[in-house]
Amino acid sequence: MAKTALITGITGQDGYYLSRLLLQKGYRVAGLLPPDRQASLTKLDELASQIQVCSVAWTDAAGLLKVVEQLQPNEIYNLAAPSFVPDSWNDPLGTLDLVTGTATRLLTAVRQVGIDTRFYQASSSEMFGKVDRSPQDEETPFCPMNPYAAAKLHAHWSMVHHRQRYGLFACSGILYNHESERRPPNFVTRKVCLAAASIKLGLRDTLEMGNLDAKRDWGYAGDHVEAMWRMLQASEPEEYVIGTGQLHSVRELVAAAFDCVGLDWTRHVVVNPQLFRPDEHFQLVANPTKAKQNLGWEPQVSFEALIEKMVLKDLERLQSGAIKPSTVQ
Ligand code: GDP
């Protein structure tokens, strides 16, 4: 019989790639969407018609319990979170409730229904925050530096407590930045790739950037969701650090993107100190050895290939009119 997976945050970048992976594997895929977010289902494009939608508010514990009871999912992937980290400063309590509240309500529902559901919690490298060592692995202490990271850490511990106290098969992936053609343009990778494509097509001439020396461990979202699935197929529920293990600077990102369209980035990029972040991280880079050894997981898409995919997709979108040229000027 086909397995059933329930996904929160299904209309986000990871929700798309995870749904696609699970549908390819023959899963029945259901997505939890708050009643006021139903319209966002269109973000799943060609997958939307294959997803069963469960309309429940994140704060509705009884409603979430009912969904788990009726669906009896084999696997739950809890991806729901505000996607853009700096926004969490504007609403720390709302962030806590969405991130920690949803995880805890779902874990409680699984416990109360008493089924063998396997639970995946989307943890984040942001939980490491102000690190005292590099690279980070599963033993590295956490030191969250913003409300988003603190909420993610609380959700992470809620998952651990449910595993320890109630024996749930619950685990988490501590994921580093992962990007794709579906990343929103407020993230630096997409901002740069869209700008390179727009400049190539003569739609604009300059790109304002923040700190070019900032570095990240950037992977491909399609690779990272594969790791989520593998964690739930393992014999034991555990935590895993998921990243490429390689750091690249924003400067390298800009150079790679402009290179894809045959342009010299130094002619187009202007640094604007107002875009610098006050709480910039220290060398957040993964040591994914455990995932490689236990799950056989390794990233398949290199940094250069990722940037090329993103630039080419934006060129195509601009040329086909899927992105209106007037919006990128
Ligand atoms: P996140 O902060 O790791 O979740 O991801 P972002 O994509 O927003 O930012 C990655 C890094 O790029 C940060 O260190 C930023 O300081 C740096 N950065 C430099 N210029 C920009 C910019 O113009 N926009 C954004 N979003 N980030 C920038």
Question: Which of 123, 151, 175 is a domain's end point?
Answer: 175
One-letter identity of residue 123? S
pLDDT digits (tens, 9 = 90+) for 84-121: 788 899 999 999 999 999 999 999 999 999 999 999 99
Tokens of 320: 């086909």
Residue percentage of the chain with pLDDT more than 90: 92
CA distance 250 to 265: 12
pLDDT digits (tens, 9 = 90+) for 293-310: 999 999 999 999 999 999
Of 298, 129, 269, 147, the C-alpha closest to 211 is 269
pLDDT given at position 85: 83
Judge whether 233 lies within some domain. Answer: no
Judge whether 149 lies within some domain. Answer: yes
pTM: 0.96
What is the whole-number distance in angstroms between the Cα of residue 83 and the centre of ligand 1? 13
274 and 211 inside one domain: yes
Q: What would the mean pLDDT of 17-25 be, rounded to a whole number?
A: 98
Q: What is the CATH number of the domain that holds 171?
A: 3.40.50.720
Looking at the predicted structure, is the pLDDT value of residue 75 above 80? yes
What is the whole-number distance in angstroms between the Cα of residue 321 and the centre of ligand 1? 27
Looking at the predicted structure, is the pLDDT value of residue 77 above 90? yes
Enumerate residues 6+ apart whose C-beta is below 8 A from 299.
219, 220, 223, 244
Best residue among 14, 182, 188 to mutate for probing ligand 1's pocket (most ligand atoms within 8 Å of CB) is: 188
Judge whether 70 lies within some domain. Answer: yes
Mean pLDDT of the residues in the chain: 95
pLDDT given at position 236: 97
171 and 81 inside one domain: yes
10 and 144 inside one domain: yes
Looking at the predicted structure, is the pLDDT value of residue 83 above 80? no
- Measured from the Cα of 190, ligand 1's closest atom is 7
134 and 210 inside one domain: no
Encode burial over 146-177: b for 16+ CB neighbours within 10 A, e otherwise.
bbbbbbbbbbbbbbbebbeeeebbbbbbbbbb
Ligand 1 environment, Cβ below 6 A? 85, 177, 186-188, 191, 209-211, 214, 216, 250, 275, 277, 280
**What is residue 3's three-state secondary structure?**
coil
Looking at the predicted structure, is the pLDDT value of residue 255 above 90? yes
147 and 204 inside one domain: no
197 and 89 inside one domain: no
pLDDT digits (tens, 9 = 90+) for 109-162: 999 999 999 999 999 999 999 998 999 999 999 999 999 999 999 999 999 999
Domain that holds residue 200: 184-217+246-283+301-327
Judge whether 22 lies within some domain. Answer: yes
Question: Which of 145, 175, 205 is a domain's end point?
Answer: 175
106 and 196 inside one domain: no
**What is residue 240's three-state secondary structure?**
strand
pLDDT digits (tens, 9 = 90+) for 264-298: 999 999 999 999 987 776 789 999 999 999 999 99
Strand (E) or helix (H) holding 149: helix 147-166
Q: Which residue lies with its CA nearest to atom 19 of ligand 1?
A: 210
What is the secondary structure of 39-65 as a DSSP string? GGGGGGGGGGGGEEEEE--TT-HHHHH
261 and 168 inside one domain: no
CA distance 28 to 4: 5
**What is residue 219's three-state secondary structure?**
strand
Best residue among 13, 148, 182, 250 to mutate for probing ligand 1's pocket (most ligand atoms within 8 Å of CB) is: 250
Q: What is the CATH number of the domain that holds 314?
A: 3.90.25.10
Q: Which residues are catalytic?
A: 124, 126, 148
Judge whether 141 lies within some domain. Answer: yes
Q: Which residue lies with its CA nearest to atom 20 of ligand 1?
A: 210
87 and 171 inside one domain: yes
Judge whether 222 lies within some domain. Answer: no
Enumerate residues 6+ apart whose C-beta is below 8 A from 41.
11, 31, 33, 48, 51, 53
Tokens of 31: 């997505």
**Domain tally, the chain:** 2
Q: Which residue lies with its CA nearest to atom 4 of ligand 1?
A: 85
What is the secondary structure of 62-112 as a DSSP string? HHHHHHHHHH--SEEEE--S-S-GGGGGT-HHHHHIIIIIHHHHHHHHHHH
Judge whether 294 lies within some domain. Answer: no
pLDDT given at position 320: 95
Judge whether 227 lies within some domain. Answer: no
Asked whether 151 and 96 are in contact (CB, 8 A), the reply is yes
Give me the residue label for tokens 């853009």: 84
Looking at the predicted structure, is the pLDDT value of residue 21 above 70? yes
pLDDT given at position 281: 62
Question: Which of 175, 209, 234 is a domain's end point?
Answer: 175
Tokens of 292: 């490689």
135 and 30 inside one domain: yes
211 and 110 inside one domain: no
30 and 82 inside one domain: yes
